[in-house]
Structure 1
Amino acid sequence: MRRADRLFQIVQHLRGGRLVTAQKLGTWLEVSERTIYRDIADLQSTGVPIDGEAGVGYMMREGFDLPPLMFTRDEIVALVAGARMVRAFGGAAMARAADEALVKIGAVLPDTEKDRIARTEIHTPMWVVSDAAREAIDLIERAIEKRQVLT
């Protein structure tokens, strides 16, 4: 595995929000603990917010985003299909977010992948979600996010 790939994998693994030891990372990535210690130090020196220490473990502070993510062709198709379903059946806010996500995905895809995505169809029932239903879905989504009970 290339070093860049290994660093990316370390960041991805630490994003899980739990304490991970260098030994576990080394076993998972098939490298020595010493290599993991060097990699963690290099990541920290570039500004990646990793907390922890040797012998105890490491974890990523919340709020760290790592663009760009690399998706396989099948993952992209799954994301597009899911976004289209949300656009068709979600609340108004979620449908707008799905549209924005589709625009962002489309902006970075090579032409060959855009063609494949265009051929991916979502077959939906012959009914349409009304504006009132979308508003109700938005209300439910906000209540879930705020952990509020609806009556």
Structure 2
Amino acid sequence: MRRADRLFKLVQLIRGRRLSTAAFLAERLEVSLRTIYRDVADLQHQGVPIEGEAGVGYRLGAGFELPPLMFTQAEADALVIAARVAQTWLDDGLAREMESALCKILSVLPTPARVAAEAQALFSLGSGLDRRTQDTLKALRHAAHSQHLVELDYLDLKEQQSVRRVRPLACFYWGKVWTLSAWCETRDDFRTFRIDRVHRCDVLPQTFRHEPGKTLADLTRRVQCERGLD
């Protein structure tokens, strides 16, 4: 890695965390502690407001902005391809945001790089999500973020219908199928629901707090234990 690239990445790492130790920075950049100390000192000498010291940690002072980010050709190609796939399998709100973000990315590329990225011969075909699934996904991801309870009319794979009140924790994409992982207050346990089998999704005015034993982290630990990954 060129030193200029390393210094740029170093600033990005420090900016992205409240406090970054030299050991953490050295590990991420695959350099020695001595190199980190020297690079930080050089950046401070150049006017970058890095606060802190060796043995304690570093943070970036308020108000500092990096120059506009430029992408390599490979990065631009990857972003275009990822956006094409994502737009097919997201709800319409996220798809529009993805399109807007991609336009901003392409606008800062030199013309040859933009043309090359848009000419990538990889596409995502298919009908994507139907309207009901899109609307349900959108409602559930917002409810998970705002921590609102949700009531579902759900038809499982055995064609058994039930009404569930759940705490939505996260939505997962499995390749053409989205699922919701939630704490089901009706069953008093974690449950997973296929979003395309949700026939009614009402976001309730009541909110919930994350309680020990009922969080996404708890669900992840349970799954790891069941798979023998601990």
Q: Mark yes or no: TM-score above 0.5.
A: yes
Per-residue CA deviation, residues 38-85 of structure 1 (Å, 9 max, x unaligned), is: 4236211xxxxx443343111347997645223221211111111222
Check whether the contact 1:83–1:102 (CA below 8 A) recurs between aligned residues: yes
Task: Give the unaligned 5+ runs of structure 1.
Answer: 45-49
Counterpart Cα distance in 2 of 1:108 and 1:73? 12
Q: After superposition, where does 1:1-150 map in structure 2 within 5 Å? A: 1-2=2-3, 4-17=4-17, 18-21=19-22, 25=26, 28=31, 31=35, 33-40=37-44, 42-44=47-49, 50-60=50-60, 66-120=66-120, 121-125=122-126, 127-150=127-150
Q: What's the % identity of the aligned pairs? A: 31
Which structure ranks higher in relative contact order (CA pairs < 8 Å, sequence separation ≥ 6)? Answer: 1
The letter of the residue matching 2:116 is R
Task: Give the unaligned 5+ runs of structure 2.
Answer: 152-230
User: How many residues of Structure 1 are paired with residues of Structure 2 in the alignment?
Assistant: 144
Which structure has the highest strand share of the two?
Answer: 2
Counterpart Cα distance in 2 of 1:43 and 1:136? 46
Check whether the contact 2:81–2:123 (CA below 8 A) recurs between aligned residues: yes
Which structure has the highest helix share of the two?
Answer: 1
CA RMSD of aligned residues (A): 3.3
Check whether the contact 2:88–2:124 (CA below 8 A) recurs between aligned residues: no
TM-score by length of 1: 0.72
Helix, strand or coil at the partner of 1:150: strand
Structure 1 residues 8, 139: CA separation in 2 closer, same or farther (over 3 Å shift)? same
